Amino acid sequence: MSDNRELLARRERAVPRGVATAYPVFAARAENAELWDVEGRRFVDFAGGIAVLNTGHRHPKVIAAVEKQLKHYTHTAFQVVAYEPYIALAERLNALAPFKGPAKTILFTTGAEATENAVKIARAATGRSAVIAFAGGFHGRTMMTMALTGKTLPYKKKFGPMPAEVFHVPFPVADHGVTVADSLRALEFLFRADVEPSRVAAIMIEPVQGEGGFYEAPKELLVALRKLCDENGILLVADEVQTGFARTGRMFGIEHSGVEPDMITVAKSLAGGFPLSGVIGRADIMDAAEPGGLGGTYAGSPVACAAALAVLDAIAEEKLIDRANAMGAHIKGRLQKIASRNDTVPITGIRGHGAMIGFDIVQHRGAYEPDADATKRVTNAALAEGLILLSCGVFSNAIRILVPLTATDAILDEGLDKLERALVSSRS
């Protein structure tokens, strides 16, 4: 088998640089919250494939369900010959929908497909064209979802012009000097200056911003958005691609607010590592598109649907929502202790519901001056310690923890020990 250096050279020759890879290591195998590279080195996984592995690498229930499905058929295209796993999964998701009344679900393959199709459905349902999103939000890399994403670098550089009728307002983060009142004033200004409410189909928001830094959308903001949408016939869309399926200590992140959206987009941890996404929405809204207007050749793969049904079983049977809350409390407790030390890089802003935990690395204790360079040192030092760790944030200074919810206490503490050592060794 090739080693990491040889594979990196082959990658550079064969794969365009536009798809970045965080670390120069190549996977050979993985189990639950552990991963081994091609040279046999073991890592604790605090990235979870970017929030895809809430149920861990190769969960036994998921593997068994996939193996069973593989013996029957792998593909028919749902638009040609339908199949029960798609329907069964839609029924399960409809029952979990975080809003009252009948729901319907359509399945796709990627998170970007889900968010882009939510826009299509919203436009069909309202007869309107404009969409509003938030600065710092991430919704995908297709042309429409790239336009919705509220971060220019690296997602929009060289790819313009963006699709029309997409508008952004500031996302409230106290450390960034933006309040809920500021966001609402910006929205009011947008309605006066650029687009009248009667032309807006949807407002899309992440209950917790992923790439934007693991900042929660304040309940006050979500309540105000719900009211504004109701008054103006606008649909409220919650992008739950990263927050969904027990990660935040609820099945969906928006449930923490008590605000009911009209649609939610889901992906990532839905199918335990198999490509699958979807839009769950109020039934009357979901039926707005004409037959044939939605879908995709691979959308709702029967293999991925089987995996997703097993994921939902595992979340329920293993009480992973409770586990997320317990893990999150433990992680935040450890981080608070680390933050009180004087021999680490300065950290602040420890936050997060459930086991979706983030914190910021700053230049000086007691002041919010983002330190992107130190953050990069920390992630590299973590890798040297045997920990896969991701950064994020509009200033590239946030560390996010997405350890599988199935990780044992021993593995969780081992990973936190490695993180602590990385924070110490990265101090300049």
pLDDT in tens, 295-351: 999 999 999 999 999 999 999 999 999 999 999 999 999 999 999 999 999 999 999
Q: Tokens representing 179? A: 């309040």
- Compute the distance between CA of residue 119 and CA of residue 104 in angstroms, rounded to an integer: 16
Report pTM.
0.96
- H runs (alpha helix) in 97-179: 111-126, 143-148
For residue 230, is it within any domain?
Answer: yes
Closest among 315, 323, 203, 305 to 254, alpha carbons compared: 203
Does one domain contain both 260 and 399?
no
- Residues 165 and 120 occupy one common structural domain: yes
Contact at 8 Å (CB) between 116 and 201?
no
361, 347 contact by CB (below 8 A):
yes
Question: Which tokens go with 298?
Answer: 């691979």
Task: Confirm whether 63 is domain-assigned.
Answer: no
Q: Distance between CA atoms of 97 and 285, rounded to whole angstroms? A: 14
In terms of domains, do 327 and 279 share one?
no
In a domain, 66, yes or no: no
CA–CA gap between residue 268 and residue 296 (Å, rounded) = 18
**Whether residue 323 sits in one domain with residue 178:** no
Instruction: State whether 306 and 389 are in the same domain.
Output: no
- Look at residue 42 and give its three-state secondary structure: strand
271 in any annotated domain: yes
CATH of the domain at 295: 3.40.640.10
Spatial separation of the C-alpha atoms in residues 318 and 138, rounded to whole Å: 30
Decide which of 317, 337, 372 is a domain's last residue: 317
Identify which of 124, 302, 103, 136 has the alpha carbon closest to the alpha carbon of residue 208: 136
Mean of pLDDT values over 12-17: 96
Counting the structural domains of the chain, the total is 2
Please report which confidence band the pLDDT of residue 150 belongs to, taking 50, 70 and 90 as the band edges.
very high
| Residue 286 pLDDT greater than 70, yes or no | yes
Q: Which two tokens stand for residue 388?
A: 């896969």
What's the domain range around 161? 73-317
**Helices and strands in the chain, H and E counts:** 13, 15
Answer yes or no: do 154 and 221 share one domain. yes
pLDDT digits (tens, 9 = 90+) for 178-221: 999 999 999 999 999 999 999 999 999 999 999 999 999 999 99
Sheet holding 357-361, edge to edge: 347-351, 357-361, 398-401, 390-392
User: Is 67 inside a domain boundary?
Assistant: no
Domain boundary among 291, 317, 343: 317
pLDDT at 366: 87
Residues 50 and 126 in one domain: no
Residue 150, exposed/middle/buried by CB under 10 A (0-12, 13-18, 19+)?
buried
Average pLDDT over the chain reads: 97
CATH number of the domain residue 47 falls in: 3.90.1150.10
* Structural domain includes residue 68: no
Q: Which of 287, 317, 347 is the last residue of a domain?
A: 317
Interatomic CA distance for residues 25 and 29, integer angstroms: 12
Are 138 and 29 members of one domain?
A: no
Query: Quick one: 282 and 337 in the same domain?
Result: no
Helix, strand, coil tally for the chain in percent (to 5): 40, 20, 40
Same domain, 52 and 80: no
Cα 355 from Cα 329, distance rounded (Å): 8
- Examine residue 244 and state whether it is found in any structural domain, yes or no: yes
Is omega for the bond preceding 302 within 30 degrees of 0, making it cis? Answer: no
